[in-house]
Chains A and B, each alone.
Chain A
């Protein structure tokens, strides 16, 4: 499906900023692309039954 260029660019910037913030082990991405401090590290999904 085609996604608008502006949305894709915003996602790209956000995840790039998050990826560069290596001092933080958190995977969650904050409102401005920064890693959030509230979120715990995401681990295996508990919804998976055998996780």
Chain B
């Protein structure tokens, strides 16, 4: 096992920076993860923030985490090309140790509006995802990875997710982010043991782990049942720290463990103190475990050169289904209404397997899509 860096998700947000500042001053933060594509909201990036990012870049301690690329959109968009162009420019300015994105596609017609939702696992979606990963790697010329998604419609999806991620990143000699709070969501939402889920992931391809907090949502579909959501607005649950202790020894190529929390949840001295305590506990777990295992001898995720064909792959059928699904999730007034709409849509009797979707997770998907259909407002 190589050295593991205790890291924070650090963006241009006053509360995140306030919460992180004492940790920076104590030299506790060993790397930062920057969501470089969230800067579309800013007219100008302040020099002091660029300087901060550069400090970590200059020490090979900067990693990039995309939000808006929408890896599995069936239709290629100009905004995706602009995203790649921007990544290429930033990769010339900063040295990213790796670049990651999220599994799934973004609902919503606007590039910066919508929510990430899963897609069916088929040969066509595999090819689409591989095409997009090649383009990302061509742009950044560094290792590329994908994060496991918290949301699943069914337990079958949960069980297939790790293998599908493995197949996707294979094409770029890539890696995965194992988000342990996302796993925590699945443990609760589908009543599966952590030990049973984790063995379904390619742990020899984990280069980064995320930990964070979230929230509970009561469902109408099953009275009394709560759904765990990955909202990043609370401290890290005890169970996620326990998962971290179990996962680290199983991931021989782990290099970064990142604490994520939203700035909106760090607006009080007590919440900032809790964030700092979570970071120090994460750091303690890393340090107590990392030195008990042998150093990995090989660096396994080197980028592959010149991979992407000139014309981006597209899947018009998938695009049509995604448009329909987005509309259903964003407009349905209830689970029963959404179910009826799905049964009269092109998704019926397809690889989406809408017939197997758990009603309480469909309800959750509706909540997520309707929450984010207007973007950050």
Residue numbers of A with Cβ under 8 A of B are 1-4, 7-8, 10-15, 18-19, 27-33, 35-36, 38-51
Contact = CB atoms under 8 A, between A and B. Distances in A.
Contact of B13 (A28, A32, A38): A28
A15 B17 CA distance: 7
B185 interface: yes
B43 to A, nearest CB: 6
Interface string B48-67: 11011001100101000101
A32 B118 CA distance: 40
Contacts of A27: 13-15, 263-264
A31 B43 CA distance: 9
Nearest to A14: B48
A18 B372 contact: no
A4 B42 contact: no
A44 B262 CA distance: 6
Interface residues of B, number: 63
Given A1-B29, A7-B51, A11-B48, A39 B232 contact: no
Nearest to B152: A49
B343 to A, nearest CB: 25
Which 7 pairs, one residue from A and one from B, show the smallest C-beta to C-beta distance?
A49-B150, A50-B230, A10-B48, A50-B229, A18-B14, A47-B67, A50-B150
A21 B336 CA distance: 46
Given A2-B27, A49-B150, A50-B214, A15 B55 contact: no
Contact of B229 (A2, A13, A51): A51
A18 to B, nearest CB: 4
Which of A18, A38, A42 is packed against the most chain B CB atoms within 10 Å?
A: A42
B31 A43 contact: no
B4 interface: no
Nearest to B185: A50
B252 interface: no
B238 interface: no
A8 B56 CA distance: 12
A48 to B, nearest CB: 4
B51 A41 contact: no
A12 B49 CA distance: 11
Which of B24, B45, B150, B185 is packed against the most chain A CB atoms within 10 Å?
A: B24
Given A19-B18, A31-B46, A36-B42, 11 more contacts: A1-B55, A7-B51, A14-B46, A27-B14, A27-B263, A45-B232, A45-B260, A46-B116, A48-B116, A49-B182, A50-B228
Nearest to B19: A15
A50 B377 contact: no
B66 to A, nearest CB: 8
Nearest to B18: A15
Nearest to A48: B230
Interface in B59-97: 59, 61, 65, 67-68
B17 A29 contact: yes
A51 B31 contact: no
A31 B51 CA distance: 12
A15 B51 CA distance: 15
Nearest to B263: A27
A37 to B, nearest CB: 9
A42 B138 CA distance: 31
Which of B13, B47, B48, B227 is packed against the most chain A CB atoms within 10 Å?
A: B48
B230 A49 contact: yes
Contacts of B45: 31
Contacts of B104: 49
Contacts of B116: 46-49
Given A1-B56, A50-B231, A44 B264 contact: yes
Nearest to A30: B46
B262 A31 contact: no
B371 A51 contact: yes
B262 A42 contact: yes
A20 to B, nearest CB: 10
